[in-house]
């Protein structure tokens, strides 16, 4: 029985999306004007009473061995 083959990372596959700049450009090209918030994520957060997204205090720490 053979063991599972590891998946290659974007960088190992020489994929364009391995470049963070390419990721940003692709995300910026997505039109969000059809959404209720018109793509204004900060405004949508504020309308729900959130000023910023911050991590909450860690409540559970789990290690699987």
* Domain positions in the chain: 16-47
pLDDT for residue 54: 86
pLDDT band at 19 (very low <50, low <70, confident <90, very high): very high
Q: Which of 24, 48, 26 is nearest to 36 (CA)?
A: 48
Q: pLDDT (tens digit, 9 = 90+) per residue, 5-14?
A: 889 999 999 9
SS3 state at 11: coil
pLDDT for residue 58: 86
pTM for the structure as a whole = 0.51
How much is the average pLDDT of 33-62?
Answer: 89
């Amino acid at each position: 029985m053979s063991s599972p083959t590891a998946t290659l990372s974007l960088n190992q596959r020489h994929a364009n999306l391995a470049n963070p700049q390419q990721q940003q450009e692709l995300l910026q090209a997505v039109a969000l004007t059809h959404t209720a918030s018109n793509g204004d994520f900060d405004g949508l957060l504020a309308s729900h009473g959130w000023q910023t997204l911050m991590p909450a205090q860690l409540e559970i720490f789990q290690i699987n061995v």
